[in-house]
Amino acid sequence: MEYAVIMAGGSGQRLWPLSRHGHPKQIIDLFNRKSLLRLCMERIAGIFDSQHILVVTNGEYADVVGSHLPELPTENILAEPVGRDTANAIGLAASVIASRSPGATMAVFSADQIIEPMEPLQEAVRKAIRFTGAHPGALFTFGIKASYAHTGLGYLKRGEEAEAEHDGIFRVEAFKEKPNKSTAHKYIRSGRYCWNSGMFVWRVETILKCLERFLPDNGVRLKRIGEAWGSSRRQEVLEAEFAELKKISIDYGVMERAEEVYMCELDCHWVDVGSYETLAESVGESDGYDNIATPGTLHEWIDSSNNIVISESPDHLIAGIHVEDLVIVHTKDATLICRREETERLKDLLARMEADGNARFR
């Protein structure tokens, strides 16, 4: 049996005010009137039926995610009591799947990504499922063919080819964290590095054994959650154990330490939407002066350049005279204006809003 897991737990603070508490970035309908979560569902629907697709999300988003994806059974929306990073989101999903189908294969996707066209991904996922079927101990990931020397992403170093009968599959020789510009250029010139996509395929029993091996305390707690999942104590055990899990990513916790790690490379348009820069790259239209606006945003510029403008109101005009390098975002109850290079400070702004009694706008 094959399952897909969509990780959709990010709060989207760097996309405020579009993303809010109760309305996370995964369900913002900016992508041809579709959300990131809906686009992810469409990419994998050709491989997995809705009964075998699970979504792991923050507890406060569970209801809105469920209403956004009505085709999924309610029990397939897994609500994390607290955020504990990707190793534990994946561990929770694996534990739940194991309670249903211990011999299952599990593919992991992120709701934050744009991948076009979808066919290369679907083909690669099928290839990975076949490979892990023949190699049950394998952990499989996907590299993205790097189109430029990106300094905001992790990289995979491609090793030797796995086997002749599995064309295009390689061992992962190393995981590299976000490099500086000169190192990123060296990676690109070598031809052996690609971007780390954060997508995976493996047998459920394999990833659970890896979690028990590399993160033993977490492994014990996840096992308790899985054992209680079909009982009346499910929620009680989940809340008690999940909060005590060590917060750690799957890359740090498992992938960088495991021996049997394999990959194939995807040659496609791929964007991890985590900021206004990447959002504009995905849905923006440039006017020739590097002013980028989302479709449906009314705007007028005089002597202005390199601005990003987004409005949720189709009848609201945003106009600028002699301004540059700004992000301007208009919603029905909040407007953001900041320098493009200062968007990392949005988390500080949200903390200030709460301290000043404006938490209702978060």
C-alpha 289/C-alpha 272 separation (Å) is 25
- 18 and 71 both lie in a single domain: yes
Judge whether 70 lies within some domain.
yes
- Residue 284 has a pLDDT of 80
Judge whether 278 lies within some domain.
no
- Residue 165 has a pLDDT of 66
- 216 and 296 both lie in a single domain: no
Q: Give pLDDT < 50 ranges for the chain.
A: none
Given 208, 238, 272, the domain boundary residue is 272
- 216 and 318 both lie in a single domain: no
Task: Check if the beta carbon of residue 263 is closer than 8 Å to that of residue 107.
Answer: no
Judge whether 279 lies within some domain.
no
- 154 and 102 both lie in a single domain: yes
Judge whether 240 lies within some domain.
yes
- 185 and 253 both lie in a single domain: yes
Domain count, the chain: 2
Judge whether 45 lies within some domain.
yes
- 227 and 302 both lie in a single domain: no
C-alpha 277/C-alpha 108 separation (Å) is 25
Cα–Cα–Cα angle for 201, 119, 144, rounded to 5 degrees:
60
Judge whether 328 lies within some domain.
yes
- 190 and 267 both lie in a single domain: yes
- 128 and 185 both lie in a single domain: yes
- For 158, counting Cβ atoms within 10 Å of its Cβ (0-12 exposed, 13-18 middle, 19+ buried), the class is buried
- For 110, counting Cβ atoms within 10 Å of its Cβ (0-12 exposed, 13-18 middle, 19+ buried), the class is buried
In sequence order, the β-bridge partners of residue 298 are 317
- 290 and 268 both lie in a single domain: no
- 61 and 131 both lie in a single domain: yes
Task: Check if the beta carbon of residue 138 is closer than 8 Å to that of residue 124.
Answer: no
- Residue 164 has a pLDDT of 60
C-alpha 44/C-alpha 128 separation (Å) is 14
Domain harbouring 151, CATH code: 3.90.550.10
- 101 and 198 both lie in a single domain: yes
Judge whether 253 lies within some domain.
yes
- Residue 305 has a pLDDT of 97
Question: Is the bond leading into 17 cis (omega within 30 degrees of zero)?
Answer: yes
Residues of the domain holding 264:
2-272
Tokens read off for 177: 């964290």
Given 217, 242, 272, the domain boundary residue is 272
Residues 6 or more apart whose Cβ sits within 8 Å of residue 66: 72, 74, 77
In sequence order, the β-bridge partners of residue 322 are none
Given 250, 272, 294, the domain boundary residue is 272
Q: Compute the 3-state secondary structure of the chain and give helix, strand, coil in percent, each to the nearest 5.
A: 40, 30, 35
C-alpha 362/C-alpha 351 separation (Å) is 9
- 161 and 298 both lie in a single domain: no
Judge whether 52 lies within some domain.
yes
